[in-house]
Amino acid sequence: MYSFQATQNSKTTPPATQRAFQRVTVNLQGRLMLANQDEYVCSVVDMSPGDARLACAGRPRTHERIIAYIDHLGRLEGTVLKLTEDGFVMSLVATERKREKLAAQLTWIANKHELGLPEDRRHDRLTPRQTLTELTLDDGRRYPCRLMDLSLSGAAVDIDFRPAIGTAVRLGSMRGRVIRHFLEGVAIEFTTLQSREALTEFL
């Protein structure tokens, strides 16, 4: 199972000269904005909690500030370290808590099959456009959460509250049950196979 290991002390080593974490290969789509406010479609090729390599048609300058919105990760902010043939490498500006959260999210992405998260291999993973929603228990308690992954058969959500495994829940209008806990939240299996139309509130 993949786990991030620091290669240097991130508090003492500048990110521009030495990566504090090993990067993991990913394929995450998103959009970014350059300092001149031009926007471009982009994809994250590999990433650690401290830096990321992006493929993008936009050609920023070294040291330019970048703001990106990446599927499953949300808003990222940082500075261009160097240009590459198809994009650039950027350092990430983040608090220690944000880096810990990124490490957990990237670990989840790298290990999703091993962790048994509900990316049912019979059903394609869908990219949610609306990620903020609520998890509702049978007793009416509601908890804000963020969709990390979604398919016709289940979802993974980033949530602070951890209902017990087997707990019946409702995610938006969809009923299901908690089947697994992981570092950032819970995995949910829907009670019935959903149609794409049923998921339109998120797509």
The DSSP code sequence of 76-94 is EEEEEEEE-SSEEEEEE--
* Dihedral over alpha carbons 124, 127, 128, 134 (to 10 degrees): 60
Amino acid at 182: F
Scanning the structure block, which residue is given the tokens 């949610």?
A: 128
What pLDDT sits at residue 110? 72
Q: What is the pLDDT of residues 43-60, one digit of tens each?
A: 999 999 999 999 999 999
CA 93, CA 40: separation in Å to the nearest integer? 20
Residue 80 sits at φ, ψ, to 5 deg, of -70, 125
* Whether pTM exceeds 0.85: no
pLDDT along the chain (203 residues), means of 10: 46 43 82 90 92 94 92 87 95 89 78 50 64 93 91 88 92 89 86 79 73
CA 96, CA 10: separation in Å to the nearest integer? 10
CA 45, CA 28: separation in Å to the nearest integer? 7
What pLDDT sits at residue 141? 95
